[in-house]
Structure 1
Amino acid sequence: MQGEIVRVEGDEFWHMTKVLRLGLNARVELFNGTGGIVEGCIQSIDRNASVVVALEEPKVLCPNGIQWHIFTAFGSLKGGRADWLIEKCTELGANSITPLLSERSPSITDNRVDRSERVILASIKQCKRLHKMAFNHPMKLQKFLPFVSQSKLSFLAAADSTPFLSILSSSRAANSGLLIVGPEGDFTEEEVKLMVDAGATPVGLGPCRLRVETATIAMLSTVMLWSDALKLET
């Protein structure tokens, strides 16, 4: 509410005062990751926190367009490639990302989960999105299949399949959809069959072999532009 006091501590306090160098009376925007945002002013600063007073009533904005959920087997990615994938999914507006555990990507480390949460938080501040991208617990393929069955739109990156844009041109709008990308070495033939039988549509992403993170971002960029176009038509 207007006039309410918020005490900003920890990493956000450090970022606010040491990185952005915001001082007394500086204007800031506070958000809660679920669409809520309010403008505030730094009222005081001590050794451990900044005290911010709300200057207006908070606003709550609902997400627009189709909510895309990413399921990708990226547990084996090295050298910052997984961070890059998560960062770009956040910037492009994905609703959630879930590491898939497949035969060729059977695990993901605990520190990867913690690190991914930090990457997401940094990314949402940078791109100013109001709804946080959820990072879900790793999921085995068998547990994932019911999600495919229940989704109206499920697209699976697969070599030698019908081009993605051709598939989208004949697809109907839905409230949410799934994008599925395999690990380095791709899904096995049996895994692909299980997902297709559950309702996933194989889509092609061009003639070249793509890395996991490249395929993920190519799919997400394409469907986000498609979603925006559909929104303008309605």
Structure 2
Amino acid sequence: MHLFYQPGLGYSNPVEFLSEDDSRHAIKTLRLGIGEIIAVTDGHGNQYTAVITKADARRCLFRITNTQTALPRPFSIRICVAPTKNLDRIEWFVEKAVEVGIERISFFFGQHSERRVLKLERIEKIAVSAMKQSLQSFLPILDEAVPFGELLKNISEKQRFIAHLPDDEPAVHLAKLATIAGQYAVLIGPEGDFSEKEIQQAVAAGFRMVTLGPNRLRTETAALTACQLLNFINA
């Protein structure tokens, strides 16, 4: 069954319609017609079974026939990452992280960041596409990029980690420090890494320094690796 995204659905208004992009995809690309069954999610855990009532490529109408509500996962993953200079790399991370499973992605600008502007519109579209592709009912929260210090003030997760190798003590792997069924927040620095001041700020805010393995990883690779590791220990 094909999955589409339409926020704000509900039985209070049982006849709904797909967005223009999804309408065009359903009618022009998939060649769906009146009477065919589709699945639609609102991105908040609700997935609706619906039947197409008007096969219009600009405004495809449907009628909801059933609904199922998924429970949130018993753990949550928040990756906080500095946008890369090449935006394609951070878009790749968002796509793959959503497919693997993630609750929140927060962007920040660090002292050594090479990119200082980030527009969420395209990233949101990539996240929606990945959610539909992987047949999920929850769309992760995507936070606007803020300065590093401001980000630290808005993190409430209990298990906090910063991917950085300390100079004066053995590195501990993320998989060894994270405990199952937790609320995780992981900081991933820019191409130029965190500054010493930022590391001190993070440690003061309760973040523990961790390694993701013996190899030096690109920003987007490190972010996805952390996401995968946390999903794995909770599998």
**TM-score normalised by structure 2 residue count:** 0.86
Flag the 1:143–1:210 CA change in 2: closer, same or farther, 3 A. Answer: same
Note if 1:52 corresponds to 2:62.
Answer: yes
- 2:4 is aligned to none
Flag the 1:40–1:207 CA change in 2: closer, same or farther, 3 A. Answer: same
- 1:187 is aligned to 194
- The one-letter code sitting in structure 1 at the alignment partner of 2:104 is S
C-alpha distance in 1, partners of 2:192/2:17? 48
Indicate which of 68, 71, 79 corresponds to 2:80. 71
Flag the 1:19–1:64 CA change in 2: closer, same or farther, 3 A. Answer: same
C-alpha contact (below 8 Å) 2:97/2:224 kept by paired residues: yes
- The one-letter code sitting in structure 1 at the alignment partner of 2:14 is E
Flag the 1:101–1:4 CA change in 2: closer, same or farther, 3 A. Answer: same
C-alpha contact (below 8 Å) 2:83/2:115 kept by paired residues: no
Cα deviation digits, residues 38-75 of structure 1 (max 9, x gap): 1111122235221211222x222221121111100124
Note if 1:155 corresponds to 2:165.
Answer: no
C-alpha contact (below 8 Å) 1:30/1:39 kept by paired residues: yes
C-alpha distance in 1, partners of 2:38/2:113? 42
> Structure 1 unaligned runs (5+)?
229-234
Matches within 5 A, 1:134-145: 134-145=141-152
Q: Secondary structure, in 3 states, of the residue corresponding to 1:180?
A: strand
C-alpha distance in 2, partners of 1:185/1:3? 51
Considering only aligned residues, what root-mean-square deviation do their CA atoms show, in Å? 2.0
> Structure 2 unaligned runs (5+)?
1-10
- 2:28 is aligned to 18
Indicate which of 118, 126, 136 corresponds to 1:119. 126
C-alpha contact (below 8 Å) 2:110/2:147 kept by paired residues: yes
C-alpha distance in 2, partners of 1:23/1:137? 38
Work out the number of aligned pairs and report it: 221
Flag the 1:108–1:128 CA change in 2: closer, same or farther, 3 A. Answer: farther
Flag the 1:28–1:140 CA change in 2: closer, same or farther, 3 A. Answer: same
Q: How much has 1:93 moved relative to structure 2?
A: 1.4
Note if 1:219 corresponds to 2:226.
Answer: yes
C-alpha distance in 2, partners of 1:98/1:28? 32
Indicate which of 202, 207, 210 corresponds to 1:200. 207
Q: How much has 1:113 moved relative to structure 2?
A: 1.6
Cα deviation digits, residues 173-223 of structure 1 (max 9, x gap): 43x220110000210122111101210011111221100011011111000
C-alpha distance in 2, partners of 1:163/1:46? 53
- The one-letter code sitting in structure 1 at the alignment partner of 2:72 is P
- 1:37 is aligned to 47
